[in-house]
Chain A
Amino acid sequence: MNMEKLDRDIIKFIQDDLPLSRSPYRSWAEAQGISQEEIVARIQTMLKKGIIRRMGAVLRHQKAGYAVNAMVAWKVEESSADKVGEIMAAYKEISHCYWREVPPSFNYPLFTMIHARSEEELQNIIDRIVEETGIDEFEVLKSIKELKKSSMRYY
């Protein structure tokens, strides 16, 4: 994508933690020779274009009370991918739902991230999904250890 330099610089700035101050954009804007209103306007444009998906707080799931975060991959026929994908996407406990290209050795192409407050709640969510979709072949990939979790840094 052909991105204007100023937009790229703004992206580099707002991929970090915004200063917790009355005018969090001002000193950076002044250093670039633009107004803080211009930064805000450009952020709004990038939001409209979908380049920025969301502006706001990013939380740590575990610390926010969601102790059990499981990746669950489901064996779904490609012909029913959309139907099942959309049912799963409607669950508020599911944050991510993707159809992935998978090798024959791991034939569970529909991936979901499920966030629950307890093991029982996770099991309960899975049971509801199985009942609603009829998909009963799946792999629960519970995380044993977080080795790295960082925000992507662009440019």
Chain B
Amino acid sequence: MSGVCIGRKGPGSMNKLAMLDRKLLEMLQNDFPLTPDPFYDLAEALETDVDEIGERIQRLKESGIIRRIGAIFDAKKLGYTSTLCACTMLEESIDKFAAVVNDIPYITHNYVRDHELNIWFTLTTPSQEERGRIINELQEQFNIIIICMPAVKTYKIKVVLGMD
């Protein structure tokens, strides 16, 4: 991406990252070695030593830039079903709704958005029945109407961020 941002961000933001960190983040996202010793192989590819790589990854985790290193799955291929949901909720109910949603592992993303439909969340469940059960419970508990908008066609899923 071409956006240039100078000196506006606090510590831990990308523009303070050294070149090696950028290359490392790029490789960690796109070319993570599928080997028994991936961090050593990363160090080799970046022509540095494995302790250096370990320390940098540790720092990137501590500063919150890296959420985790692991696998991202295709929910559908694991037999799960996903949908985007939205509803209109009174301001004063939002905190309680957030707390209830925090205890529902099948809801992974939940946002307040600037729209009449002010609550948007994603729901991924092992079955349609489970989806229906959760939606019904939330509708009753909060006296809301939830609309479900499942994806019928995927044109792109690529959550890899450019580091240039």
Q: Does A31 sit within 8 A of B, measured CB to CB?
A: no
Interface contact B30-A56, CB-CB below 8 Å = yes
Whole-angstrom distance from the CB of A150 to the nearest CB of chain B?
A: 5
Interface residues on A, range: 35 or more
Q: A1-B78, A97-B156 are in contact. Are A18 and B69 (CB under 8 A)?
A: yes
Option from A23, A59, A101, A139 in Cβ contact (under 8 Å) with B36? A23
Please count the residue pairs between chain A and chain B whose beta carbons lie under 8 angstroms apart in the complex: 249
Option from A21, A142, A152 in Cβ contact (under 8 Å) with B75? A152
Interface contact A152-B108, CB-CB below 8 Å = yes
Interface contact A98-B155, CB-CB below 8 Å = yes
Whole-angstrom distance from the CB of A74 to the nearest CB of chain B?
A: 12
Chain B residues whose C-beta falls within 8 Å of the C-beta of A40 in the assembled complex: 34-36
Q: Does A77 sit within 8 A of B, measured CB to CB?
A: no
Chain A residues whose C-beta falls within 8 Å of the C-beta of B90 in the assembled complex: none
Q: Does A32 sit within 8 A of B, measured CB to CB?
A: no
Q: Mark A54-67, 1 if CB is under 8 A from B, else 0.
A: 11111111011111
Residue of A nearest to B97 (CB): A147
Chain B residues whose C-beta falls within 8 Å of the C-beta of A15 in the assembled complex: 70-71, 73
Whole-angstrom distance from the CB of A31 to the nearest CB of chain B?
A: 16
Interface contact B109-A149, CB-CB below 8 Å = yes
Which B residues between 102 and 118 are near A, CB-CB below 8 angstroms?
Answer: 102, 105-115, 117-118
Which A residues between 67 and 93 are near B, CB-CB below 8 angstroms?
Answer: 67, 71, 81-82, 85-86, 88-89, 92-93
Residue of B nearest to A22 (CB): B37
A60 to B124, CA, bound (A): 20
Interface contact A20-B39, CB-CB below 8 Å = yes
Q: Mark B68-82, 1 if CB is under 8 A from A, else 0.
A: 111111110111100
Residue of A nearest to B71 (CB): A14
Chain B residues whose C-beta falls within 8 Å of the C-beta of A53 in the assembled complex: 71-74, 157
Chain A residues whose C-beta falls within 8 Å of the C-beta of B153 in the assembled complex: 81-82, 85, 98-99
Chain B residues whose C-beta falls within 8 Å of the C-beta of A147 in the assembled complex: 94, 97-98, 101-102, 110-112
Q: Which 10 A-B pairs have the closest CB atoms?
A: A65-B14, A56-B32, A57-B28, A85-B155, A117-B3, A89-B156, A99-B153, A148-B110, A98-B151, A97-B155
Q: Which residues of B contact A (CB under 8 A)?
A: 1, 3, 5, 9, 12-15, 25, 28-32, 34-40, 50, 54, 57-58, 61, 63-75, 77-80, 84, 86, 94, 97-98, 101-102, 105-115, 117-118, 120-121, 124, 147-163
Q: Which residues of A contact B (CB under 8 A)?
A: 1, 3, 11, 14-18, 20-26, 36-37, 40, 43-44, 46-47, 49-61, 63-67, 71, 81-82, 85-86, 88-89, 92-103, 105-106, 111, 115-118, 121, 139-154
Give me 8 other A-B pairs in contact (C-beta within 8 A), A20-B54, A96-B157 excluded.
A17-B69, A21-B39, A63-B65, A88-B155, A101-B148, A145-B111, A148-B107, A148-B121
